[in-house]
Amino acid sequence: MAITNTKISDLVPNEKILGQTINALMAEKHELITSGLAARGPEVDAVASGGPRKASIPYLNPLSTDKVNVSTDDLTVAGDVGKMTADEFTVLRHDLNYSWATADLTRMVTQFNVQGGISAGIAAYWNGIVSKIAALSLKGALAADADLTFGAVDDEFSLAQVALAAATAGVYADQFDTLIVSPLRKAKMIAANESAFVAKSDTKADFDTWAGKKLIVSNVFGDDTSILARSGALALGYGTVAIPTEIERVANGANGGGGDILHSRISPVVHVQGFDYLGAVAPAITPATGTSVLGDAASWGRKVPLEMIGFRAIRHAA
């Protein structure tokens, strides 16, 4: 539907409500959340809401299974006591913003209805950016630790590869239920084993599945690498921005015709669980080319045992 001679302020009468609606839609619609791949918690949200851009969130170390007490009838014998220890991950908050402008006489075309168009469109935009940050972070963590990559570039992608990659997680192997694949890889998976593919429209779920694994499509890893992951592989938090949305009136813009600029701001934390972030405080992100220091090996360092990491890379023939 085309809307003529309309200002942004006509479609967005209340900037505060717009910001709240965008935040709600982001959490409701984000594939990282609905797939279970990203876990949310108060510690992450606290970092996202303010303070230093680099901060730490605590985690409990695995409890040792090297010792156990066997109860006796002798009350004078004290049992051994193990030690519960904790550590911290260094995480990064991304303070992001973008703006969109329209002149008073510009024809605004939207694929959504008038009331939900701007909020739904901006929420979808930010969810796309957050997904790319997540994929870049996974790429960097994988580059930092070769033990997380399984297979060879001349292997054919198969269910056997998926099972063997999950097996490197030991007791957590059965929890790996998500595959991140390129569009070409998804097409080849369906062609090779069509019966294993179930479209989300057939299950009324949020995701297509293949052999019971939820599918997320991304170009970041290329056609020769797929990612197998389990719930909670990422930590995700959305901060409280002082002014998340703002309409700026430019009276003399458009050669005096006037216009509006709609500003949108978010401060998410998107972190790879089990890794320290070691890179720049405010890394540049170029979504169009999928480049950032987030994807560099030097930006990440593993802090927990391999089996606790919630993702694996599977290399295979393109």
User: What span, in angstroms and rounded, lies between the C-alpha atoms of 264 and 238?
Assistant: 14
Selected residue with higher pLDDT from 288 and 155: 155
**So what's the pLDDT on residue 260?**
83
**So what's the pLDDT on residue 271?**
93
| Amino acid identity at 121 | G
Within 8 A by CB and 6+ apart from 223, the residues are 182, 184, 185, 318
pLDDT at 113 over 50: no
**So what's the pLDDT on residue 82?**
80
Q: pLDDT, tens digit, for every residue of 233-282?
A: 999 988 888 888 888 888 888 788 888 888 999 999 999 999 999 998 88
Helices 114-144, 15-29: inter-axial angle, 10-degree rounding:
50
Strands (E), the chain: 2-3, 38-39, 54-60, 86-92, 96-103, 108-109, 149-150, 176-181, 197-198, 209-210, 213-217, 225-230, 234-238, 245-250, 259-266, 268-272, 275-277, 300-302, 311-315
User: What span, in angstroms and rounded, lies between the C-alpha atoms of 129 and 123?
Assistant: 10
Q: Rg (Cα) of the chain, in Å, rounded? A: 23
User: What span, in angstroms and rounded, lies between the C-alpha atoms of 246 and 19?
Assistant: 9
User: What span, in angstroms and rounded, lies between the C-alpha atoms of 157 and 61?
Assistant: 34
Are residues 84 and 59 in contact, defined by beta-carbon separation less than 8 angstroms? no
Mean pLDDT lowest among 51-65, 253-267, 276-290: 51-65
pLDDT at 110 over 50: no
Q: pLDDT, tens digit, for every residue of 5-30?
A: 456 666 666 777 888 888 888 877 78
Q: pLDDT, tens digit, for every residue of 167-204?
A: 999 888 999 999 999 999 999 999 988 888 998 887 67
The single residue listed with the structure tokens 């809401």 is 49
pTM for the structure as a whole: 0.81
